[in-house]
Chain A
């Protein structure tokens, strides 16, 4: 079949990203031709400021070198500007006469700097700030001339001013607003920013209106004149007063434009063969000038170019960051607010910190941070997720408070860390390594960083820090999507919620069926999606969907915990941490018989036998004659208890029995992540109920339930959920909550993260306010549990389940010489 012809006009970040996404989806559908007006391959335009500031070089910001175009068989016409589109003959014509025919045309023409229509605007030394040529012009001028004037006190203007100052020029910023960045900051913060920039030697004139650029008599600019008649010297004038979508070609060929080329949710223009993307496109009235939304557009556009036909672009929430080293400024969403919004501010002019949060109907809609932007990513996530912040409103301003994460020396701010500071304590990755990888490989997301450096790929406790580093390095281009919006893995574009919904609504029962139905890209998934699918199937359709052992991590397949040397650990169930002499004797006998290298008491009040060979597992289980403690699974773990009223002089309730009852009721329960409970008999809380997924504390008049606690990577205190009167209610409420979590939690999402995602109000609504719903949840969990039984017993009794544990012996092979 002859390939279709795809022509792209413009060779910038949005367009090339679309090609990358397209090639990933369908490498052979198109013959691709690209016209780029600049003589360079695709580079990271947002990093022009660090280049101007001398922090990076041009070579370092190239995203796709010429070899990339070659490898992907893309015909690349550099330095050729397309001057005409012939929609009748379906071809484009460049300024040098080069023509290219198209079946599909992708317009990615970007934007132009807005040049003030004032006398002198065409003089030598007057430039916009848009591309490598402009940046080079500024760098060259800085070597030979003294006075620079930057018109425009927005992000781009300030970055240009800062760079020119660092290159030794005397720089004045002229701005028509009352304060700098008046779109991002309010007056107070704007003045803070101005003060710290003045301390670096920049000068400001504001509010001030430029009326004329004065000729030095030889065609070069020599001074700037203002409306009030004042004049300042200028050898270089940088116009950074905004950008205008570049729609010239589109208008010329009759495509509908209105401050951008009008596009639909599929990024198509009024001519369905022609797509437009990036800064030149106007989607639902907005032409985005930041990179993150453009990448989202790229994904959707590629999907439609690949003729897959699903995926819609529905607009983006954006965030920005000023890339001036040493000055931290971050804003996201609607940070100005209107009459309906409530604003929380924290202002410390002396300390140089200003924070503003904009809230509408209990939802965070925007944030502006100056001086301390460590929580920018956290706020941005909340803005995008639109989660209800009512419960955390009191603490919202004080940030995510990542102090308490383990393994990072208590640090919670990546900005101030030196390059040799270890970020990922699991894989030994330093900040400098991450920054370098981001710059060299053009990374934009934490997932990219994981792939290239392994940082944040093990326990994940440094994910927040890595996210900050990504934000600090690439600014607004950072892709900090919340897990709820991210694709499950590289095998699909669907997120966890969508996958689960499809499984429920279409009654999918097996992994191959689910993959087929949802158009999985890989034949049998990967180690990330298969365990997730398996959990969603068996938890949605208990008794119908069959568990797939090959899609389980080895611990859940072997029902024991793999150790670094390939041996396993065995932890039998000891409900509520209570055992007896007979069990202890059997454990001791097993330890002797199998020469167990270590016998250890666990944190969950049971006994761990470490160093068991896999082939011995079934017989160890048989000799123990105790059920599995599920100490290895995304499942119920233990219910920790204190002594309680039976023995303790302070005990108000029989916490031990309550714990035993709960643990037996929940035996063999699979869940999105591990689930730990504790029951304490009085508020002294000896069983540490405050840091469990469900923590129960006995008081004289009944029981208090706490949910969403976590003692692991990041210590999280559980939140008070409800107070109940008796044991039966403890059981019903706890099980109902756990079933809700089983049904709604994403795979590998602990209760604390589930709670933060959906909000306490949602959980209370489902479990507390609606008795019928609570009982139904409780019933559904019992129904689901009715299909589970002790996996150890099954493997002792059923021959066919023993294969997993048997080695194959071939004497001749063993004795062969190599």
Chain B
């Protein structure tokens, strides 16, 4: 499983996100207020809204198009909406955010 170096942790604002181009479209990388970092496909399962542009709270993001709430740690939409967006494992090593395309081990 290879890790890609993306950016410094501080390149992502707290409760914010950045977008990186992945092999299959954009990947949104989020930073929570506790400095947890999550990466998911930048497409809402509803109508492909760019999740990177949403408001981040707790471990969730609000899709900017129709207000679906996506949980960043699972990729799942919050009820009553049903859907899932693909997520990627991340880690922070000496202040650098890294991402892998491998399977998520939960």
Mark A residues whose CB is within 8 Å of B. Answer: 451-454, 457-458, 522-527, 530-531, 549-554, 558, 562, 564, 566, 614, 803, 806-810, 812-818
Give the complex CA separation of A419 and B79 in angstroms.
24
For the complex formed, measure the closest distance between the CB of B62 and the CB atoms of chain A, giving whole angstroms: 4
Mark B residues whose CB is within 8 Å of A. Answer: 2, 4-7, 11, 13-16, 18-24, 29, 33-34, 47-50, 53-58, 62, 64-67, 69, 80-81, 99, 101
For the complex formed, measure the closest distance between the CB of B102 and the CB atoms of chain A, giving whole angstroms: 10
Complex contact A566–B49 (CB within 8 A): yes
- Of B14, B24, B33, B65, which one neighbours A562 at CB under 8 angstroms? B65
Complex contact A524–B66 (CB within 8 A): no
For the complex formed, measure the closest distance between the CB of A423 and the CB atoms of chain B, giving whole angstroms: 16
- Of B2, B16, B20, B101, which one neighbours A809 at CB under 8 angstroms? B20
Give the complex CA separation of A524 and B50 in angstroms.
22
Complex contact A813–B21 (CB within 8 A): yes
- Of B20, B23, B33, which one neighbours A818 at CB under 8 angstroms? B23
B-chain residues with CB within 8 Å of residue A523 when the two chains form the complex: 33-34, 58
B-chain residues with CB within 8 Å of residue A453 when the two chains form the complex: 80
- Of B22, B47, B48, B69, which one neighbours A813 at CB under 8 angstroms? B22
Complex contact B23–A814 (CB within 8 A): yes
Complex contact B15–A524 (CB within 8 A): yes
A-chain residues with CB within 8 Å of residue B64 when the two chains form the complex: 553-554, 562
B-chain residues with CB within 8 Å of residue A812 when the two chains form the complex: 4
- Of A614, A813, A817, which one neighbours B99 at CB under 8 angstroms? A813
B-chain residues with CB within 8 Å of residue A807 when the two chains form the complex: 18-21
Complex contact A810–B21 (CB within 8 A): yes
* Chain A residue at minimal CB-CB distance from B60: A526
**What 16 additional pairs, Cβ within 8 angstroms, besides A550-B13, A813-B101?**
A452-B80, A457-B67, A522-B58, A526-B55, A526-B57, A527-B57, A549-B16, A554-B54, A562-B53, A562-B64, A614-B53, A803-B11, A807-B21, A808-B11, A808-B18, A815-B23
Give the complex CA separation of A806 and B23 in angstroms.
18
A-chain residues with CB within 8 Å of residue B18 when the two chains form the complex: 806-808
* Chain A residue at minimal CB-CB distance from B53: A554
A-chain residues with CB within 8 Å of residue B11 when the two chains form the complex: 803, 808
B-chain residues with CB within 8 Å of residue A815 when the two chains form the complex: 23
A-chain residues with CB within 8 Å of residue B13 when the two chains form the complex: 549-550, 803
Give the complex CA separation of A809 and B56 in angstroms.
22
Give the complex CA separation of A313 and B87 in angstroms.
46
Contacts A562-B65, A818-B24 given; indicate if A527 touches B55 (C-beta within 8 A).
yes
Contacts A524-B33, A816-B4, A816-B101 given; indicate if A530 touches B53 (C-beta within 8 A).
no
Complex contact A809–B21 (CB within 8 A): yes
Contacts A524-B15, A562-B64, A803-B11 given; indicate if A814 touches B57 (C-beta within 8 A).
no
Complex contact A454–B19 (CB within 8 A): no
Give the complex CA separation of A814 and B21 in angstroms.
6
Listed A/B pairs (13) with beta-carbon separation below 8 Å:
A451-B80, A522-B58, A523-B34, A526-B58, A550-B13, A550-B15, A558-B53, A807-B19, A808-B21, A813-B4, A813-B99, A813-B101, A816-B23
Complex contact B6–A813 (CB within 8 A): yes
For the complex formed, measure the closest distance between the CB of A404 and the CB atoms of chain B, giving whole angstroms: 25
Give the complex CA separation of A60 and B64 in angstroms.
36
Give the complex CA separation of A457 and B78 in angstroms.
15
For the complex formed, measure the closest distance between the CB of B25 and the CB atoms of chain A, giving whole angstroms: 10
Give the complex CA separation of A51 and B18 in angstroms.
55
Give the complex CA separation of A816 and B65 in angstroms.
30
A-chain residues with CB within 8 Å of residue B99 when the two chains form the complex: 813
